[in-house]
Amino acid sequence: MNFDVIVIGAGAAGMMCAAQAGLRGRRVLLVDHAVKIGERIRISGGGRCNFTNRNVSADNYLSQNRHFSRSALSQFTQHDFLAIVNARGIRYHERDHGQLFCDDSARDIIDMLKDACDDAQVQLVHPCKVLGVQKGEEFDRRFVVDTEQGAFRCESLVIATGGLAAPAIGATPFGYKLAEQFGIPVIAPKPALVPLALAPETLEKLKPLAGNTLDARTEFGSAAFRENVLLTHRGLSGPAILQISSYWQMQEYEGGKKHPVDIDLLPDLNAADWLAEHRRSKQALPMLLAEKLPKKFAQEWCALMGWEKPVNEFSNRDIENIAAALQAWPIMPSGTLGYNKAEVTLGGVDTGALSSKTMEAKAVPGLFFVGEVMDVTGWLGGYNFQWAWSSGWVAGQYA
Ligand code: FDA
């Protein structure tokens, strides 16, 4: 059977792209191997889907090619997506940092995308395994997509199969393998927005601190995030850790010695000035710190560092070290808790091989990549869905 466009992957980016291409009058087939489509949308944002953010720019994305996302994000913005959500009458609310969530259920977004595909007469086939893809040469330059429901031909093929996070709901490396089949490089995928693991000896040392939640700032290189940090029995978690984990993972691409993540325990204070104000205090340091940190954490942290004396008994050098540790407590992760706990995948199809205007592969006319399968990784906060909408929409105009 012949189509103008075949989209493989009926997730966020794939449904957006298929609906847009269909609206242009293209005959579109959307194929997914899953029994239920849009599952990653359904489970997102605790079931309420943080579908975009009020403030989106290329600075909210990690990629080997930092400016790649700029064009798509400006062709289809967060305001454009919001206009569709508003037109549909979906109720939503704003949380910290401009994050927009559905009031009722992520299903509202899935239904909206499905209806858009129906309205654009997109033919949806699922569950359906894709067995292989070939491209004709010379006169017939169409793609042949071989599936367990037969072979389909198309002029434009869009790969929207996502990344490797949450494998339990059907993540596969299909997109990476297909890119490689067509000679397109792939930046090694890694879990991102993911809790950080600690080596057994570090975990043992930090055991008394487990269970604490802190309002802190995580820092790595020039990246910094102010949100909650959770110390758990398995390592470090919480939004500030998930955010910084993506930057910590980036250093793998550079090779060389690994660096720790720094945690600023007193993000609202200059610790050196504050300690100087209390330099003559006879209070034990844990008691003083308990004015600014959870009491249990202050006690256990001081015990761990061996700093339990009254403040006036520390030497000036000690006070300098304490201030430095409060402002940048270095913790070296041993790795991450992996794709099962990750929200997204860092790396993916090398954007250097793609047009930032259309998402088409420069060396393979008619082949497009959209969404998370590409080497574009957003911050926590609705940025990954916005990338799916923007890249899917753009490809939908050109496929
Ligand atoms: P997506 O993963 O949505 O879709 C890929 C589709 O391809 C799936 O339908 C899959 O079945 C299909 N597929 C895969 N392999 C295939 C194959 N071989 N053959 C056929 N089909 C195949 N982001 C955000 O902005 N806000 C949020 O609130 C959250 N929350 C969140 C929670 C959790 C637990 C996770 C795991 C992730 C998030 N995310 C998020 C990230 C967000 O879900 C993700 O970035 C987007 O869904 C990516 O959209 P894609 O369309 O690229 O892939």
DSSP string, 203-239: HHHHGGGTT-EEEEEEEETTEEEEEEEEE-SSEEESH
Exposure string for 134-160, b = 16+ CB within 10 A, e = fewer: ebeeeeeebbbbebeeeebbbbbbbbb
Q: Where are the domains of the chain?
A: 2-186+345-398, 196-336
Query: For position 138, what pLDDT does the model report?
Result: 61
Report if pTM > 0.95: yes
pLDDT per residue as tens, the chain (399 positions): 899 999 999 999 999 999 999 999 999 999 999 999 999 999 999 999 999 999 999 999 999 999 999 999 999 999 999 999 999 999 999 999 999 999 999 999 999 999 999 999 999 999 999 999 999 876 677 999 999 999 999 999 999 999 999 999 989 999 999 999 999 999 999 999 999 999 999 999 999 999 999 999 999 999 999 999 999 999 999 999 999 999 999 998 988 899 999 999 999 999 999 999 999 999 999 999 999 999 999 999 999 999 999 999 999 999 999 999 999 999 999 999 999 999 999 999 999 999 999 999 999 999 999 999 999 999 999 999 999 999 999 999 999
Calpha distance 160→372 (Å, rounded): 8
Looking at ligand 1, which residue's alpha carbon is closest to its atom 36? 343
Same fold, 2-186+345-398 and 196-336: no
116 touches ligand 1 (CB under 6 Å): no
CA atoms within a 13 Å half-sphere pointing along the CA-CB vector of 223: 21
Look up the CATH number of domain 196-336: 2.40.30.10
395 touches ligand 1 (CB under 6 Å): no
CB atoms under 10 Å from CB of 363, counted, come to: 11
Looking at ligand 1, which residue's alpha carbon is closest to its atom 25? 382
Looking at ligand 1, which residue's alpha carbon is closest to its atom 2? 162
Query: For position 141, what pLDDT does the model report?
Result: 75
Parallel/antiparallel/unpaired status of strands 329-331 and 335-336 = unpaired
242 touches ligand 1 (CB under 6 Å): no
Tokens standing for residue 372: 């998370």
Look up the CATH number of domain 2-186+345-398: 3.50.50.60
Calpha distance 145→137 (Å, rounded): 15
Query: For position 139, what pLDDT does the model report?
Result: 60
50 backbone dihedrals φ, ψ, rounded to 5°:
-80, 85
Looking at ligand 1, which residue's alpha carbon is closest to its atom 32? 44
Nearest Cα to 345, choosing from 63, 42, 17, 34? 63
Pick left, alpha or beta for residue 41 (phi over 0 → left; psi -120 to 50 → alpha; otherwise beta): alpha
Query: For position 131, what pLDDT does the model report?
Result: 98
Tokens standing for residue 133: 């893809």
Q: Give the sign of the dihedral formed by CA 19, CA 351, CA 245, CA 163.
A: positive
